[in-house]
Amino acid sequence: MPTKRGLGFVLLITILLLIAFIYNNNLVYLLCFLLASLFFITILHTVNSLEGLLIKKTQCPDIFAGEFATNSLIIDNPGNTKRYSIQLGLAQESMQFCDINAQQNMRISLPQKVNQRGWFVLSRPVIFSCYPFGLFRAWHRLNIEIKTLVYPRPSMQDCPLPENNSSQGMQGNTEKGQDDFYGLQRYQSGDGIRHIHWRAYAKGQGLFTRQYSGVQSSEIWLDYEQTQGSDHEERLSQMCRWVLEADKAGMEYGFKLMGLIIEPNRGNQHATQCLTALALA
């Protein structure tokens, strides 16, 4: 399709043709035919600027709600001609411009902020070209869907990890580690005063103590029924924070979410399994 510049070019040729007709000027006729030839030849070059390009989608990393999905595509130019001014993007949004050398490829990212957990699908991006003179615009809507899994946004509220089963009846004997902080636990008789989380106490949330990576060696269960929140999303956010804190501390933890039970384990694969369940809950 012709661009605004292309329509202006057509208007210019029309005016010159009228002038040539009125004044019977052969030089103006020659100029009109030259510009018209340039106009029609440009169509072929614009279409050829996209022909033969290969577009591939890449695996997008999982993100948390509120972050940007990368939406990466790889444009491969297998030909022997350099491609200029290739534009890739979404309709009615900013486009990414690039020049691709012969027999080379380029990665293009179309970042989008995602606020909703679950599967985010970037469907059918568009590739454009107005090369060489900007008189025409050739485009193709790609039949590609890029899916990104979006985890719930981790809760910003202080939410202590659930107590493990072995902690009950063992008050005062829990070994306190001095490594990385990973969460809060309800105060137990014998806990040191310097570990008390006074900020939570001042907010009326109860008396908690700070726990570190050396706190517990036994397993805990992260149970949806033990979460506190005004709605379903807030409770999922609290579960998400629990998973991140337990994984950071290297703890072995089980996971319970509305009938789904994941046996206690630790490691990145276990954390990813739990976060995926939260994203799709």
Nearest one of 239, 279, 46, 52 to 159, comparing CA atoms? 239
- Which pLDDT belongs to residue 248? 86
Torsion sign over Cα 224, 225, 227, 233: positive
- Which pLDDT belongs to residue 217? 47
Interatomic CA distance for residues 32 and 19, integer angstroms: 10
- Which pLDDT belongs to residue 194? 60
Interatomic CA distance for residues 36 and 6, integer angstroms: 11
Determine the average pLDDT of the residues in 241-249: 88
- Which pLDDT belongs to residue 198? 67
- Which pLDDT belongs to residue 77? 93
Determine the average pLDDT of the residues in 229-248: 89
Give 41-71 pLDDT, tens digit per residue: 999 999 999 999 999 988 889 999 999 998 8
**Is the distance from CB of 239 to CB of 223 less than 8 angstroms?**
no
- Which pLDDT belongs to residue 251? 84
Nearest one of 196, 218, 217 to 207, comparing CA atoms? 196
Which of the two residues, 144 and 11, has the higher pLDDT score?
11
Nearest one of 40, 18, 20, 36 to 28, comparing CA atoms? 20
- Which pLDDT belongs to residue 216? 46
Determine the average pLDDT of the residues in 20-30: 91
The length of the chain in residues reads 281
- Which pLDDT belongs to residue 178? 46
Average model confidence (pLDDT) for the chain? 83
Give yes or no for residue 220 having a pLDDT over 70: yes
Nearest one of 52, 151, 137 to 100, comparing CA atoms? 52
Which of the two residues, 92 and 217, has the higher pLDDT score?
92
Which of the two residues, 137 and 183, has the higher pLDDT score?
137
**3-7, 152-156, 186-190: range with lowest mean pLDDT:** 186-190
Give yes or no for residue 154 having a pLDDT over 80: yes
Q: How confident is the model at residue 172 (pLDDT cuts 50, 70, 90)?
A: very low
Give yes or no for residue 267 having a pLDDT over 70: yes
**1-5, 175-179, 240-244, 258-262: range with lowest mean pLDDT:** 175-179
Interatomic CA distance for residues 144 and 146, integer angstroms: 6
Determine the average pLDDT of the residues in 249-267: 88
Interatomic CA distance for residues 104 and 117, integer angstroms: 36
- SS3 string, the chain, reads CECHHHHHHHHHHHHHHHHHHHHCCHHHHHHHHHHHHHHHHHHHHHHHCCCCCEEEECCCCCEECCCEECCEEEEEECCCCCEEEEEEECCCCCEEEEEECCCEEEEEECCEECCCCEEEEEECCEEEECCCCCCECEEEECCCEEEEEEECCCCCCCCCCCCCHHHCCCCCCCCCCCCCEEEEEECCCCCCHHHECHHHHHCCCCCEEEEECCCCCCCEEEEHHHCCCCCHHHHHHHHHHHHHHHHHCCCCEEEEECCEEEEEECCHHHHHHHHHHHHCC
Q: How confident is the model at residue 167 (pLDDT cuts 50, 70, 90)?
A: very low
Interatomic CA distance for residues 59 and 113, integer angstroms: 17
**62-76, 120-134, 212-226: range with lowest mean pLDDT:** 212-226
Interatomic CA distance for residues 69 and 112, integer angstroms: 5
Give yes or no for residue 23 having a pLDDT over 60: yes
